């Protein structure tokens, strides 16, 4: 079953509290009512490949922001304190301006990077890389709305070139790759970083899983009901009828899959064997093993990772 009920409306993505330092990027949900229908419209033409390779991904990118509004999927803002702290420390040095966002569902990770740097009076040089044009379009749209210049790069990260970057930032990205491809991914990350450059990420650990993970029939039904309950309790309608939301949830849970990382030791070895020195690899606050439903908001064992590229 999915892990937890939806968060209360208005605080689904770890929005900054009223008494915390704010930046122009502090509210990750503010633009969702505008960007969600835009993503739905553009995904029909821009999406080309899904996480399985060779299939359309509009079932994912087109509806993801609506699921964010409903609070039923995980975003990096749910672990914002880690990213604020680590990225903020790097921003404060003045020597880590070039940031690569490696894979993203929408602009949430970009907003968090900009927010963390802005808290220290810095503006990073951000490149967002993804194999699908839909999230890249959304990142450009978000950046333009805030008067920020970014670069985007479309294509398979395993074939990526360029850099060097000072920081690579990503969120729960390793699960998109089967175990036999992960060493290649980490080696590419190393090549894209300068010596001493940092990898900053959080990745979910699923000790109870091996191989590919999909929603079971029961988990899919529970996710569908969770979507409908959240839509019914929102104080402001999202403008999508219940049958459409149900259909989106059904297709999402039928097609979504990932290859979980099984342990902290596995993740540490993956990094250390492929050119990184692990500086931090610890469970985040309140992290605990969660049930098997993939890609949902709620409690789960998520490891905070900071690693430096070896020369």
Q: Report DSSP letters for 111-164, one per residue.
A: HHHHHHHHTTT---EEEEEESSHHHHHHHHHHHHHTT---EEEES-GGG-----
pLDDT of 41 reads 96
* Cα dihedral across residues 112, 118, 122, 125: positive or negative: positive
pLDDT of residue 190: 98
Please give the pLDDT value at position 13: 56
CA pair distance 162, 265, nearest whole angstrom: 30
Residue 35 inside a domain? The answer is no
Asked if the model's pLDDT at residue 52 lies above 70, the reply is: no
Q: How far is CA 85 from CA 80, 108, 131, 140, 296, in A?
A: 8, 17, 29, 25, 24
Q: What is the pLDDT of residue 93?
A: 97
Span 173-201, mean pLDDT?
97
pLDDT band at 273 (very low <50, low <70, confident <90, very high): very high
Task: Please classify residue 175 by burial: count the beta carbons closer than 10 Å to its beta carbon, then call 0-12 exposed, 13-18 middle and 19+ buried.
Answer: buried
- What per-residue confidence (pLDDT) applies to 299? 47
Q: Comparing 69-73, 145-149, 254-258, 286-290, which segment has the lowest mean pLDDT?
A: 286-290
- pLDDT, greater one: 55 or 137: 137
Give how far Cα 76 sits from Cα of 56, 104, 106, 155, 165, Å: 24, 10, 11, 22, 21
- Give the model's pLDDT for residue 301: 86
Residue 163 has pLDDT above 70, yes or no: yes
Flag whether 177 is in a domain. yes
Higher-confidence position of 73 and 290: 73
pLDDT at residue 211 in the model: 86
The whole-number pLDDT of residue 15 equals 57
- Counting residues of the chain whose pLDDT is more than 70, the rounded percentage is 86
Residue 200 is part of which domain span?
Answer: 78-212+259-309
Which band of pLDDT confidence, cut at 50, 70 and 90, is reported for residue 296? low
Distance (Å, rounded) from C-alpha 226 to C-alpha 138?
26
Does residue 132 belong to any structural domain of this protein? yes
Please give the residue that has the higher pLDDT: either 236 or 6.
Answer: 236
Residue 154 has pLDDT above 60, yes or no: yes
**Res. 208 pLDDT band, cuts 50 70 90:** confident
- Residue-level pLDDT at 237: 72
Residue 21 pLDDT > 90? no
The per-residue pLDDT for range 91-124, each reduced to its tens digit, is 999 999 999 999 999 999 999 999 999 999 999 9
* Residue 174 forms part of a structural domain: yes
What value does the CA radius of gyration of the chain take, rounded to a whole number of Å? 18
Q: Is 73 inside a domain boundary?
A: no
**CA 153 vs CA 40, 171, 255, 284: distances in Å:** 21, 17, 25, 30
Domain-located, residue 294: yes
User: For residue 151, is it within any domain?
Assistant: yes
**Tens digit of each residue's pLDDT (9 = 90 or more) over 222-253:** 999 999 999 998 877 788 999 999 999 999 99
Mean pLDDT computed over 153-171: 95
Q: Collapsing DSSP states into helix, strand and coil, what is residue 171?
A: strand
* CATH number, position 277: 3.40.50.150
For 4, 26, 48, 177, 196, the CA distances from 288, given in Å and listed in that order, are: 12, 27, 36, 23, 31
User: Is 8 within the bounds of a domain?
Assistant: no
Q: Is the pLDDT of residue 27 over 90?
A: yes
In the predicted model, is pLDDT for residue 2 greater than 60? no
Q: What is the pTM of this model?
A: 0.90
Q: How many domains does the chain have?
A: 1
């Amino acid at each position: 079953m999915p892990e937890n009920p939806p968060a209360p409306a208005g605080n689904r993505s770890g929005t900054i509290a009223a008494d915390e330092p704010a930046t122009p990027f502090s509210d990750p949900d503010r633009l969702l009512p505008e960007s969600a229908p835009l993503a739905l419209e553009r995904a029909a033409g821009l999406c080309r490949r899904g996480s399985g390779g060779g299939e359309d991904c509009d079932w994912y990118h087109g509806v993801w922001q609506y699921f964010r509004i409903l609070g039923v999927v995980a975003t990096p803002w749910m672990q914002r304190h880690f990213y604020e702290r680590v990225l903020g420390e790097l921003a404060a040095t003045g020597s880590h301006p070039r940031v690569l966002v490696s894979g993203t569902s929408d602009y949430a990770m970009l907003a968090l990077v900009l927010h963390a740097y802005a808290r220290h009076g810095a503006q990073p040089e951000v490149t967002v890389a993804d194999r699908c044009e839909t999230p890249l379009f959304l990142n450009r749209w978000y950046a333009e709305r805030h008067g920020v210049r970014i670069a985007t790069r479309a294509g398979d990260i395993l074939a990526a070139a360029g850099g060097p970057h000072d920081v690579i930032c990503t969120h729960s990205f390793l699960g998109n790759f089967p175990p036999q491809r992960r060493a290649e991914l980490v080696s590419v990350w190393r090549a894209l970083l300068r010596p001493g450059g940092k990898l900053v990420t959080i990745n979910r650990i699923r000790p109870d899983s091996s191989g590919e993970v999909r929603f079971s029939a029961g988990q899919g039904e529970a996710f569908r009901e969770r979507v409908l309950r959240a839509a019914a309790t929102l104080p402001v309608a999202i403008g999508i009828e219940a049958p459409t939301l149900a259909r989106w949830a059904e297709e999402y849970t039928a097609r979504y899959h990932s290859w979980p990382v099984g342990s902290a030791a596995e993740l540490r070895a993956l990094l250390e064997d492929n050119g990184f020195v692990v500086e931090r690899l610890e469970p985040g606050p309140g992290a605990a093993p969660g049930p098997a439903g993939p890609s949902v908001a709620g409690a789960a064992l998520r490891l905070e990772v900071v690693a430096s590229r070896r020369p």
